[in-house]
Amino acid sequence: MHSSLTEHARCLYGDEYRPTPECGLKHLEHYFIEELTFADADAVLAMLRELCPHVVDGHLPVWVRNLAYRLALLQRPDDPALLREAASSLWLHGPEWDAIATELERRAEALEVS
């Protein structure tokens, strides 16, 4: 068993900044997605920020990043900084996500005004 969600992701997808650890475990993506699904927001954000510290980098697949931000936002729907961080990630991955990114930024602004 991995000690953290970040370690599990690093073993499965690699890390742009650190070598992939040799842990001897069988790495199947669906086991990681199960762990991600039930992780708390702090664990999800720690993984994203460690493996993709500059938003544009990292080896996590785009769909994993999107899912991770979605799961964190479900746990923290009223966090303007997180809404903006998720929007920033979406802006980088093609125009099909632009409407969602715009809505996340609008929600962040509305929360800050109220």
Residue 30 has a pLDDT of 94
Question: What does each C-alpha distance from 30 to 27, 37, 101, 112 come to in angstroms?
Answer: 9, 10, 27, 37
DSSP symbol at 16? S
Residue 41 has a pLDDT of 98
Contact call for residues 30 and 50 (beta carbons, < 8 A) = no
Residue 57 has a pLDDT of 87
Residue 40 has a pLDDT of 98
pLDDT in tens, the chain (114 residues): 788 999 999 999 988 888 887 888 888 899 999 999 999 999 999 999 999 988 888 899 999 999 999 999 999 999 999 999 999 999 998 799 999 999 999 999 999 998
Q: How far apart are CA 64 and CA 59, in angstroms?
A: 10
Residue 114 has a pLDDT of 82
Q: Give this prediction's pTM.
A: 0.92
Q: How far apart are CA 53 and CA 71, in angstroms?
A: 18
| CB contact burial 78-97 (16+ within 10 A = b; e otherwise) | ebbebbbbbbebbbeeeeeb
